[in-house]
């Protein structure tokens, strides 16, 4: 009887572990070097501008390759990571995916989570990409993804509100704080920062401290570059933004917006909140809800002496599912999205300034390399940027930042104790991840 | 006269019964028993370098030490303790109203049941947003009554009440159970006590409530289990905030699994929730003595 129980237990253990084990050893369909008729699923997240442009590009693809049908799956960013995580773990991931930078660490730490694109003959053509840019898409030595663009967050302001209040866009941190005083009388706010999926509150405060100290928050190999004092400075900076009416407190923000994203909230659309920190590649969704030309890019803030601290990263990448049955066709489709001139024109800068030289040249030649994404890229080019460590964007890390900021904002902890708790959580987690 | 005989198409052999219930047994083994035990095994692993390794009870110990888990348990218990009695009271009250023999009872019953169908759908989320954000309807009504503004979304003390109100509004299924039980009470009982000079309130406490014992117990168990498994309402409405004041154990499981990709912890927390629910049910059985056969 006992032996039977042990056998059943062992079988269950084996079955459970095999069901959820690593993808290593999973059957990968080898490329056959030709394009056959098939149906591919393609998923991406974004705002309406990106959805519209991508759907137009898919129509163009259909005219070029009617035998390869693309089924689009798209939505907003909120909850998208969770959706893709479930698909990846359940073996139902789309053939072609727009992926985020940190997903390589969380979904393909050894490079087997996505298809190795370099094993597919001919496609995608990566000759138009800088080798350093391509290196962001490598995991475990395999080319898992191709970066669509390199992007950073910039500051964008509602010019109508700023004009009405006679305010200028700030260029230094001190000017930003002074704007809080100017705006407080009107009930409006010069900027908005969040602790939801965007996590802009932590981001801007890190930029500030990186600029002051010259240290990188988290290194590319996943070590914490900040000391406890640096983390405290981050939280002090954030608290001061709230206290000086530069941004809404978390309680006010949550109370006013509920669960709505900022670009869908009446506060942003009506101009009560007149500024946003956003990726150049994603700012279109904010632009669309305001009157034409109302949203403008502002200078990247400095202390008047240093210009560093601002960050860039591959904004998005295209990857092929490791379990796809059509690697050649999927790679050809990625090639179309990245390098096809007509497609580049249709997509414009809805995913940032293209990293592919072919796409970029086409946009330049047709005068379409403009708009807020381009303004943001230009501003980032003018300062000393650092590349964001993929470890910085891991969801668990974001949870730690947000907990610390929330505790400081609600006054349940002072900045010193919140910084200490955060330091300990971050170092412990990074050590576990690196193992 | 010709007699009709009904032949069993699968025969009447020794294993016919087993054959007939085999689809259920197969489904139960595959979709309930297997995941149930597999989750225990997965809870005994840890993720390192993308691989799962056997870790004994380490993940469970980590879970018990984790302040996030303890807070989620606290939120879940508080939510259950507030919601379940309120919901039973509201649904019983609605059932009593509908049992009064008023005209068009079917329409009222349907209307009262509609919120239960909506659940925590997008429509409910948008409506709650309209009702409870600052300057929302709730705030305006408070203003009209001369009461101060309440920070429903932004203050942890009130955020949980938003979730409770949503679920309280969905009293339809509990109400139907009560209504059916009320219909089973013979009218003669009420007529007899009326002759003895008993008022309606006393009749409620001496006849209705004791005879609803089983329905109350059934609703109590079902609603307690449902409340302890709460996930979708806080996920959709508050995202677990502010300050994790609405993060239930159900939400924690989801976050561990799909946001943080920690399979081991998600499964350990699932077992934590199972133990919590099992304990609650055992306590309720002990306290109430379970269901009794009706006389």
Residues A257 and A405 in one domain: yes
Query: How many structural domains are present in chain A?
Result: 2
- The structural domains of chain B, with segments of one domain joined by +, span 69-185+211-288
Ranking A267-276, B16-25, B84-93, B112-121 by mean pLDDT, the lowest is B112-121
Confidence band for B14, pLDDT divided at 50, 70 and 90: confident
Q: Convert the pLDDT of each residue in B30-78 to its tens digit.
A: 999 999 999 999 999 886 655 678 888 999 999 999 989 999 999 999 9
Q: What is the pLDDT of residue A320?
A: 96
Q: Confirm or reject contact between B123 and chain A (CB < 8 A).
A: no
Region for residue A114 given its phi and psi (left: phi exceeds 0; alpha: psi -120 to 50; beta: otherwise): beta
Q: Confirm or reject contact between B69 and chain A (CB < 8 A).
A: no
Distances (CA, A) of A417 to A212, A291, A423, B220: 22, 44, 10, 43
Q: Which residue in A has a C-alpha nearest to residue B239's C-alpha?
A: A259
Answer yes or no: is A8 within a domain.
no
**What residues contact A145, with CB distance under 8 A and at least 6 apart?**
A99, A104, A114, A117, A137, A317, A318, A319
Contact between A17 and B42 using a beta-carbon 8 Å cutoff: yes
Q: What is the pLDDT of residue A4?
A: 52
Q: Confirm or reject contact between A21 and chain B (CB < 8 A).
A: yes
Last residue of one domain, picked from the residues A339, A364, A381: A381
Q: Confirm or reject contact between B235 and chain A (CB < 8 A).
A: no
Let me know how long chain B is.
295
Contact between A17 and B128 using a beta-carbon 8 Å cutoff: no
Residues A72 and A136 in one domain: yes
What is the spatial distance between Cα A314 and Cα A114, in angstroms, rounded to a whole number?
17
Residues A210 and A283 in one domain: yes
What is the spatial distance between Cα A319 and Cα A13, in angstroms, rounded to a whole number?
33
Among candidates A22, A258, A412 on the partner chain, residue whose Cβ is nearest the Cβ of B153: A258
Q: What is the pLDDT of residue A217?
A: 96
Q: Nearest to residue A297, comparing CAs of A313, A326, A275, A319? A: A275
Q: Confirm or reject contact between B45 and chain A (CB < 8 A).
A: yes
Contact between B258 and A106 using a beta-carbon 8 Å cutoff: no
Residues A319 and A387 in one domain: no
Phi, psi of A429 (to 5 degrees): -70, -40
Ranking A427-431, B111-115, B168-172, B272-276 by mean pLDDT, the lowest is B111-115
Distances (CA, A) of A164 to A232, A298, A389, B11, B241: 36, 17, 39, 86, 35
Residues A110 and A257 in one domain: no
Residues A146 and A158 in one domain: no
Contact between B243 and A410 using a beta-carbon 8 Å cutoff: yes
Contact between B153 and A254 using a beta-carbon 8 Å cutoff: yes
Answer yes or no: is A391 within a domain.
yes
Peptide bond into A262 cis (omega under 30): no
Contact between B50 and A22 using a beta-carbon 8 Å cutoff: yes
What is the spatial distance between Cα A169 and Cα A163, in angstroms, rounded to a whole number?
10
Contact between B236 and A395 using a beta-carbon 8 Å cutoff: no
Residues of chain A in contact with residue B128, where contact means CB-CB under 8 angstroms, are 258
- Judge whether residue A10 has pLDDT over 80: no
Q: Convert the pLDDT of each residue in A297-317 to its tens digit.
A: 999 999 988 888 999 988 899
How far B206 CA lies from chain A's nearest CA (Å)? 46
DSSP code, position B207: I
Give just the sign of the alpha carbon dihedral A318, A321, A322, A327: negative
Contact between B239 and A82 using a beta-carbon 8 Å cutoff: no
CB A312 within 8 A of CB A380: yes
Q: Confirm or reject contact between A197 and chain B (CB < 8 A).
A: no
Q: Convert the pLDDT of each residue in B176-205 to its tens digit.
A: 999 999 999 998 998 898 888 888 889 899
Q: What is the pLDDT of residue B278?
A: 96
Q: What is the pLDDT of residue A25?
A: 44
- Judge whether residue A18 has pLDDT over 70: no
Q: Nearest to residue A174, comparing CAs of A309, A302, A305, A297? A: A302
According to DSSP, the residues that pair with A69 across neighbouring strands are A39
Q: Convert the pLDDT of each residue in A19-52 to its tens digit.
A: 444 444 457 899 888 899 999 999 999 988 899 9
Q: Please state, rounded to an integer, the average pLDDT across all residues of chain A.
A: 89
Residues A346 and A258 in one domain: no
Residues A239 and A166 in one domain: yes
Q: What is the pLDDT of residue A33?
A: 82
Contact between A13 and B41 using a beta-carbon 8 Å cutoff: yes
Residues of chain B in contact with residue A406, where contact means CB-CB under 8 angstroms, are 241-243
Residues A140 and A264 in one domain: no
The H or E element containing residue B38 is helix B34-43
Q: Confirm or reject contact between B32 and chain A (CB < 8 A).
A: no
Domain holding A291, by residue range, is 152-312+383-434
Answer yes or no: is A191 within a domain.
yes
- Which has more confidence, A368 or B178? B178
Peptide bond into B97 cis (omega under 30): no
What is the spatial distance between Cα B130 and Cα B117, in angstroms, rounded to a whole number?
20
Ranking B52-61, B81-90, B264-273 by mean pLDDT, the lowest is B52-61
Among candidates A16, A109, A403 on the partner chain, residue whose Cβ is nearest the Cβ of B50: A109
Answer yes or no: is A84 within a domain.
yes
Residues of chain A in contact with residue B237, where contact means CB-CB under 8 angstroms, are 258-259
SS3 B51: strand
Question: Residue A147 class from Cβ within 10 Å (0-12 exposed, 13-18 middle, 19+ buried)?
Answer: buried
As given in the structure block, the two tokens for residue A44 are 């991406």
How far A435 CA lies from chain B's nearest CA (Å)? 6
Q: What's the CATH architecture for B69-185+211-288? A: Orthogonal Bundle (1.10)
Q: Which residue in B has a C-alpha nearest to residue A19's C-alpha?
A: B38
What is the spatial distance between Cα B233 and Cα B246, in angstroms, rounded to a whole number?
10
Q: What is the pLDDT of residue B45?
A: 87
Phi, psi of A311 (to 5 degrees): -120, 150
Tell which B residues from 133 to 162 touch A, by Cβ distance under 8 Å. Answer: 133-134, 151-155
Residues A369 and A411 in one domain: no
Q: Confirm or reject contact between A109 and chain B (CB < 8 A).
A: yes
Contact between B242 and A254 using a beta-carbon 8 Å cutoff: yes
Q: What is the pLDDT of residue A284?
A: 87
Residues of chain B in contact with residue A12, where contact means CB-CB under 8 angstroms, are 34, 37-38, 41
DSSP code, position B160: H
CB A402 within 8 A of CB B242: no
What is the spatial distance between Cα A16 and Cα A78, in angstroms, rounded to a whole number?
30
Q: Confirm or reject contact between B239 and chain A (CB < 8 A).
A: yes
What is the spatial distance between Cα A169 and Cα A300, in angstroms, rounded to a whole number?
10
What is the spatial distance between Cα B101 and Cα A324, in angstroms, rounded to a whole number?
62
What is the spatial distance between Cα A103 and Cα A85, in angstroms, rounded to a whole number?
9
Q: Confirm or reject contact between A87 and chain B (CB < 8 A).
A: no
- Judge whether residue A174 has pLDDT over 90: yes
- Which has more confidence, A187 or A228? A228
Q: Convert the pLDDT of each residue in B134-155 to its tens digit.
A: 888 998 999 999 998 899 999 9
Distances (CA, A) of A359 to A149, A353, A356: 11, 9, 5
Q: Convert the pLDDT of each residue in B232-242 to its tens digit.
A: 999 988 989 89
Residues A69 and A130 in one domain: yes
| CATH number reported for the structural domain that contains residue A56 in this entry | 3.40.190.10
Answer yes or no: is A4 within a domain.
no
Answer yes or no: is A100 within a domain.
yes
Residues of chain A in contact with residue B39, where contact means CB-CB under 8 angstroms, are 16
- Judge whether residue B7 has pLDDT over 90: no
Among candidates B34, B52, B152 on the partner chain, residue whose Cβ is nearest the Cβ of A20: B52
Q: What is the pLDDT of residue A28?
A: 85
The CB-side HSE value for A176 (13 A sphere, CA atoms) comes to: 30
ipTM: 0.83
Answer yes or no: is A19 within a domain.
no
3-state secondary structure A116-177: CHHHCCCCCCCCCCCHHHHHCCEECCEECEEEEEEEEEEEEEEHHHHHHCCCCCCCEHHHHH
Q: Confirm or reject contact between B31 and chain A (CB < 8 A).
A: no
Answer yes or no: is A1 within a domain.
no
Residues A361 and A401 in one domain: no
């Amino acid at each position: 009887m006992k032996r039977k129980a042990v056998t059943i237990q062992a079988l269950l253990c084996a079955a459970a572990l095999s069901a959820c084990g690593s993808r290593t050893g999973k059957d990968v369909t080898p490329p056959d070097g030709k394009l056959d008729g098939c149906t591919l699923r393609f998923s991406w997240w974004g705002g309406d501008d990106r959805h519209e442009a991508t759907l137009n590009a898919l129509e163009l693809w259909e005219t070029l390759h009617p035998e390869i049908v693309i089924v689009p799956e798209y939505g907003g960013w909120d909850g998208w990571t969770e959706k893709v995580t479930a698909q990846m773990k359940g073996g139902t991931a789309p053939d072609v995916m727009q992926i985020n930078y940190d997903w390589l660490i969380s979904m393909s730490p050894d490079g087997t989570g996505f298809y190795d694109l370099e094993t597919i003959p001919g496609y995608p053509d990566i000759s138009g990409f800088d080798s350093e840019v391509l290196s962001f898409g490598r995991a475990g030595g395999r080319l898992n993804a191709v970066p669509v663009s390199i992007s950073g967050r910039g500051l964008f302001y509602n010019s109508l509100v700023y004009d009405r209040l006679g305010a200028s866009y700030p260029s230094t941190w001190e000017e930003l704080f002074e704007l809080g005083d100017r705006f407080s009388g009107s009930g409006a706010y010069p900027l908005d920062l969040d602790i939801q999926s965007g996590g802009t509150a932590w981001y801007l405060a890190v930029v500030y401290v990186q600029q002051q100290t010259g240290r990188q928050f988290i290194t590319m190999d996943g070590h914490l570059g900040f000391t406890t004092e640096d983390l405290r400075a981050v939280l002090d900076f954030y608290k001061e933004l709230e206290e000086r009416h530069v941004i809404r407190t978390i309680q006010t923000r949550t109370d006013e917006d509920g669960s709505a994203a900022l670009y869908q909230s009446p506060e942003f659309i009506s101009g009560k909140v007149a500024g946003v920190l956003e990726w150049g590649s994603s700012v279109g969704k904010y632009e669309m809800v305001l009157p034409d030309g109302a949203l403008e890019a502002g200078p990247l803030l400095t202390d008047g002496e240093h210009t560093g601290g601002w960050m860039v990263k591959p904004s998005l990448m295209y990857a092929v599912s490791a379990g796809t049955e059509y690697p050649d066709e999927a790679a050809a489709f990625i090639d179309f999205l990245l390098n096809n001139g007509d497609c580049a024109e249709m997509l414009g800068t809805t995913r940032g300034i293209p990293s592919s030289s072919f796409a970029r040249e086409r946009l330049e030649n047709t005068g379409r390399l403009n708009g807020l994404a381009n303004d943001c890229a230009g501003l980032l080019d003018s300062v000393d940027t650092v590349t964001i460590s993929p470890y910085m964007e891991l969801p668990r890390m974001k949870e730690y930042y947000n907990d610390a900021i929330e505790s400081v904002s609600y006054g349940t902890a002072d900045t010193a104790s919140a910084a200490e708790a955060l330091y300990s959580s971050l170092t412990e987690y990074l050590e576990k991840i690196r193992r | 006269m010709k007699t009709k005989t009904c032949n069993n198409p699968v025969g009447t052999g020794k294993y016919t019964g087993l054959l007939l219930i085999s689809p259920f047994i197969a489904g139960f083994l595959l979709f309930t028993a297997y995941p149930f035990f597999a989750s225990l095994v997965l809870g005994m692993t840890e993720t390192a370098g993308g691989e799962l390794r056997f870790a004994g009870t380490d993940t469970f110990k980590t879970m018990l030490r984790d302040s996030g888990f303890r807070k989620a348990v606290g939120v879940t218990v508080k939510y259950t303790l507030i919601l379940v009695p309120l919901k039973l009271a509201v649904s019983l009250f609605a059932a009593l109203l509908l049992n009064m023999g008023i005209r068009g009872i079917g329409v009222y019953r349907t209307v009262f049941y509609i919120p239960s169908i909506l659940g925590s759908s997008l429509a409910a989320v948008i409506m709650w947003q309209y009702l409870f954000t600052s300057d929302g309807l709730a705030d305006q009504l408070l203003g009209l009554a001369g009461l101060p503004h309440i920070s429903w979304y932004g203050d942890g003390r009130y955020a949980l009440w938003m979730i409770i109100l949503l679920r309280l509004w969905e009293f339809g299924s509990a109400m139907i159970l009560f209504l059916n039980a009320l219909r089973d009470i013979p009218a003669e009982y009420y007529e007899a006590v009326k002759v003895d000079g008993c008022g309606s309130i006393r009749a409620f406490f001496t006849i209705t409530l004791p005879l609803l014992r089983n329905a109350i117990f059934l609703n109590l168990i079902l609603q307690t289990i449902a409340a302890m498994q709460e996930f979708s309402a806080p996920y959709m409405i508050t995202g677990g905030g502010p300050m994790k004041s609405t993060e239930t154990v159900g939400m924690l499981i989801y976050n561990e699994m799909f946001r943080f990709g920690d399979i081991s912890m998600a499964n350990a927390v699932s077992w934590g929730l199972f133990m919590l629910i099992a304990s609650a049910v055992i306590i309720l059985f002990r306290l109430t003595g379970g269901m009794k056969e009706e006389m």
